[in-house]
Amino acid sequence: ARAVSRPAVPPAAAAEHALAVAAGQTTYEDPTTGYTVFTELSHLQRGACCGRGCRHCAYDWENVGRRTARRPKRTGAAAPVLADVKRPSESKVYTRKGDGGRARLVGSRDAETPKHSAVFEAVGDVDELGVKLGLAAFHAPEAPEGGVDVKARLLRTQALLLDAGAALTVLESGGKGAYARAARDAFDDAEIADLEREVDALDAALPPLRNFV
């Protein structure tokens, strides 16, 4: 049985979705929010539920709420292709509707959080640190035989920071949906312990601290 119940699709969005599917389109514009939404045709092309709680999931949300999504078995045959599916001629990245200086956090369907809020500053700081780690990893030399693999450490920490950024975007109130659970599960106590072990290992190689930093 599915552990997560699917919310009803708003009538206006359902109507737009039906028109898009009839036209063979893989996306449509939500009439309320202006966001681009994948149609059921797009999900059928993927071949499996991605587990992210998509509005028009063609697989009844079978992987939503799972830590690891189940993938379809590979038989060696080519993936099914929908016949007569028309590709959209363009996909605009703007809506001309504005956002009023607000944005949505995970677990909320409404753009209710001001963009100057501390949460977005925190997410930006984590992203910036991740970029710097990626740059450092790019320039890091290859690990000597039997030595410390600095590049691997940097890339592992960068990956953990991506998960931490996802966890930061979850609303504390109302964040009970599939998206919220997925983001919270992305960064847990075990990964915090991994980061602390990395810090301890690096700290052990430094001389004793004699001044306040």
Tokens of 149: 């693999």
Name the pTM for this structure: 0.48
d(CA 213, CA 85): 61
pLDDT at 1: 43
pLDDT at residue number 113: 82
Q: How far apart are CA 180 and CA 209, in angstroms?
A: 41
Flag whether pLDDT at 172 surpasses 80. Answer: no
The predicted pLDDT at position 143 comes to 83
The C-alpha atoms of residue 51 and residue 89 are separated, in whole angstroms, by 28
63 Cβ contact list (under 8 Å, min separation 6):
48, 49, 50, 51, 69, 70
In contact, 100 and 163? CB cutoff 8 Å: no
Residues 45, 26: contact at Cβ < 8 Å? yes
| Average pLDDT over the chain, rounded to an integer | 78
Of 52, 129, 42, the closest CA to residue 87 belongs to: 42
pLDDT at 18: 92
Say if residue 3's pLDDT is above 90: no
Higher pLDDT, 69 or 45: 45
pLDDT score at 150? 85
| Residue 38 φ/ψ, nearest 5 degrees | -75, 140
Burial class (CB in 10 A: 0-12, 13-18, 19+), 147: exposed
123: tokens are 């997410």
Position 56 scores a pLDDT of 92
What pLDDT is attached to residue 129?
Answer: 94
